[in-house]
């Protein structure tokens, strides 16, 4: 039995299961992300109660980032000040004792889930990007999430500001990086409304698709993925994916002469095969791999 935590900045989604399907279909235990002590206590007490019913072989934490792999904690550079340095290793060990722990970013984990069972199966180089409250991404190569100096931070690439856009940007570190200009929070602030309330034909989505297409081209030119999976709440806006596909194809402009970037763009930029379950199933992947490695 594996415990899976999708540890997001607004909520934590928890599940246990013996297989990815069990985790996908399980009734989730959802905790609103508040102060670290309060949140991790609520989350870990639930896993401790599950552990008493059926002992867990490992736990996987798919966390918002940036994260620190050496200590299995939230990095000190996170804009969520209260969470700086918070250790998932300590939180898990305090409640479950010495148990195998798999740890990665929520987006790398979601990318792994999509590689295993979703929209990116059997692809060698896969990028998963989520456009939600923030923007993040993972790069999966041969079924492994890329870790280098740290881990990729797709949301903090820079894209050229579009003419007429004078919005300062929401990123506390960079201002107008991609996340600062195009995350859900940026859409809300720029247009003084919730992104769910903006009609599909609102000018917001022309600008949004401009920025996302620029980001896609940067990703394509740098990493040459075989497929890009685009998840997150913002991508559910009607017609947005089509706009991003068309603009990405036009910006690539045939420079990479592949059908995937012209006539087959619809199967190149895709929605998650696992829907909104990619993150928690990804946490299961991290846990299952940690369990196997500890055996
Ligand atoms: Zn930034």
- Provide DSSP, 146-159: --SSS---GGG---
In degrees to the nearest 10, what's the CA dihedral of 209, 215, 218, 223? -120
Which residue, chain included where needed, has tokens 């002469």?
A: 257
CA 147/CA 139 separation, integer angstroms: 9
| Cα separation, 36 vs 129, whole angstroms | 26
Ligand 1 center to 95 CA (angstroms): 34
Distance 51 CA to ligand 1 centre (A): 39
Report pLDDT for 193.
79
Whether residue 213 contacts residue 176, with contact meaning beta carbons closer than 8 Å, is answered with no
**Cβ partners under 8 Å of residue 243, min gap 6:** 205, 206, 209, 213
C-alpha of residue 136 to centroid of ligand 1, in Å: 10
Q: Is the dihedral of CA 219, 122, 114, 199 positive or negative?
A: positive
- Nearest residue to 114 (alpha-carbon basis) of 289, 287, 293, 285: 285
Beta strands in 199-256 (DSSP E): 227-231
How close is the Cα of 94 to the center of ligand 1, in Å?
A: 33
Under a CB-based contact definition with an 8 Å cutoff, are residues 278 and 272 in contact?
A: yes
Q: Which helix (H) or strand (E) is 74 found in, with range?
A: strand 73-74
- Distance of CA 151 from the midpoint of ligand 1 (Å): 15
Query: How many A from CA of 172 to the centre of ligand 1?
Result: 7
Q: How far is the CA of 54 from the centre of ligand 1 (A)?
A: 42
CA–centroid distance, 56 to ligand 1, in Å, is 37
Q: Do residues 62 and 110 make contact, with C-beta atoms less than 8 angstroms apart?
A: yes
Under 8 Å between Cβ of 226 and 123: yes
Model pLDDT, residue 295: 84
Q: Which residue has the tokens 């992947």?
A: 285
Q: Angle 10-289-78 (CA atoms, 0-180°, nearest 5)?
A: 30
Q: Is the pTM of this model over 0.95?
A: yes
Expressed in angstroms and rounded, the spacing between residue 158 Cα and the centre of ligand 1 is: 8
List, for residues 79-96, the tens digit of each pLDDT value: 889 999 999 999 999 999
What is the per-residue pLDDT for 222? Answer: 98
d(CA 79, ligand 1 centre) in Å: 10
What confidence score (pLDDT) does residue 196 get?
A: 79
- Residues in the chain predicted with pLDDT less than 70, given as ranges, are none
Q: Which domains does the chain have, with CATH numbers?
A: 2-105+276-294 (3.30.420.40), 119-271 (3.30.420.40)
Half-sphere exposure (Cβ direction) of 97: Cα atoms closer than 13 Å: 5
Euclidean distance between CA atoms 35 and 20, whole angstroms: 30
Residues 32 and 73 sit within 8 Å (Cβ to Cβ): no
């Amino acid at each position: 039995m594996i415990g899976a935590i999708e540890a997001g900045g607004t909520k934590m989604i928890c599940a246990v299961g013996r297989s990815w399907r069990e985790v996908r279909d399980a009734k989730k235990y959802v905790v609103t992300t508040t102060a670290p002590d309060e949140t991790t206590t609520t989350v870990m007490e639930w896993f401790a109660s599950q552990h008493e019913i059926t002992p867990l072989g490992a736990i996987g934490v798919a966390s918002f980032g940036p994260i620190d792999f050496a200590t299995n904690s939230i990095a000190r550079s996170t804009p969520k000040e209260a969470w700086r340095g918070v250790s998932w290793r300590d939180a898990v060990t305090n409640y479950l004792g010495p148990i195998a722990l798999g740890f990665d970013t929520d987006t790398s984990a979601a990318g792994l889930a999509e590689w295993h069972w979703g929209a990116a199966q059997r692809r060698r180089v896969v990028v998963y990007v989520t456009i939600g409250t923030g923007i993040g991404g993972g790069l999966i190569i041969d079924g492994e999430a890329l870790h280098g100096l740290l881990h990729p931070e797709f949301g903090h690439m820079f894209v050229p500001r579009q003419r007429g856009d004078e919005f300062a940007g929401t990123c506390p570190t960079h201002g107008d990086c991609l996340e600062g200009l195009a995350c859900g929070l940026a859409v809300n602030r720029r247009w003084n409304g919730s992104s769910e309330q903006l009609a599909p034909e609102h000018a917001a989505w022309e600008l949004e698709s401009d920025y996302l297409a620029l980001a896609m081209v940067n990703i394509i030119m740098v990493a040459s993925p075989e497929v890009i999976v685009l998840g997150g709440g913002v991508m559910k806006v009607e017609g947005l994916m089509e706009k991003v596909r068309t603009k990405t194809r036009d910006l690539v402009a045939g420079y990479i002469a592949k059908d995937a970037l012209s006539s087959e763009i619809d199967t190149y930029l895709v929605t998650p095969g696992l829907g909104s379950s990619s993150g928690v199933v990804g946490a299961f992947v991290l846990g299952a791999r940690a369990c196997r490695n500890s055996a």
